[in-house]
Amino acid sequence: MANEHVLIVEDDEDIAELLEYNLARQGYRPSCAGTGEEGLREAREGKPDLILLDLMLPGLSGLDVCRALKDSEATAGIPVIMLTAKGEEEDIVAGFNAGADDYVTKPFRPKILLARVQAVLRRGAATRADDDEPLQVGPLLIHPGRHEVADSDGVVDLTRTEFRILQFLASRPGWVFTRS
């Protein structure tokens, strides 16, 4: 049975209640926020394992919330599933470009959404397990747990952002990514 904390950021109380009920039935620990600002605060304070995020929120939009989460080192690793009525191609691309891990359009089927939640959490757990293993790329040895990179001349001086980008790219050889 799952025990992960899932933060639901949704202004429609009926949808939030439906999500909360179905997640709790599957053993997750759901909590809810009704605005973008509240969701951002809850994510920073509560460090959920996953966030279900509506795009159209009062105040701060879901896209802005997602960008803020992904731009902060403290919350960048929290997976985000966009859950929204906006299903146009441009909206979906904007969601992924903002940092979403998955995108589900309303209306949705609860069983399918729960399967997506489980899949995103499973991928995140696999990534976290790999984070402790040193990574060898050419002459570089990347130590994720120590935030350290070394080459034949010794330790390479990198900023946090440079380290995160290097680790991300090195752990996915051959993949192509957008600048964001």
- Compute the distance between CA of residue 66 and CA of residue 115 in angstroms, rounded to an integer: 21
* The predicted structure's pLDDT at residue 138: 85
Q: Which residues of 26-40 are buried (b: 16+ CB within 10 A; e: fewer)?
A: bebebbbbbbbbbbb
**pLDDT above 60: residue 38:** yes
Q: How confident is the model at residue 122 (pLDDT cuts 50, 70, 90)?
A: confident
Which residue stretches of 26-61 are H helix? 36-46
- Average model confidence (pLDDT) for the chain? 86
Question: What does the pLDDT read at residue 180?
Answer: 63
Higher pLDDT, 78 or 129: 78
Q: Write out pLDDT tens, residues 17-29.
A: 999 999 999 999 9
Amino acid at 130: D
d(CA 158, CA 66) in angstroms, rounded, equals 26
